Amino acid sequence: MATPVEQHLFRIEKKLKSVELLLAELIKHQCQREIRSLLVEMLAFKKQQSVQQNYQEEWLDSYEVMRLYRISRSTLYRWKQRELLHPNKIGNRDIFLRREVERLFQSVE
């Protein structure tokens, strides 16, 4: 039979174990909340970057396309006629989205 002191120590140990379990649960829930919060922030940041990227499209005029990609004026003209490139007009000038030109070059290679 255990002495009263041993019984008291046993009850204290039991309480400590339950307190440890509660603390572990609290920490787990706190971490989950923090992780959720960070994920929400990351998604918002990524969405903002995507919006900014759409506004910062790089446009090239005909001369830049010919110079950067080392193609002739007739090649550029043919691509427009075959609707491989879809220029936008500013006055008399054709301008092209750089990613569209790059996509065309990737498909040709």
Q: At what angle do helices 73-81 and 62-69 cross, to 10 degrees?
A: 110
- Burial degree of 101 (CB within 10 A; 0-12, 13-18, 19+): buried
CA distances from 79 to 43, 48, 72, 75 (A): 39, 34, 11, 6
**Prediction pTM value:** 0.48
Give 57-85 pLDDT, tens digit per residue: 789 999 999 999 999 999 999 999 999 99
Per-domain boundaries in the chain: 1-56, 59-108
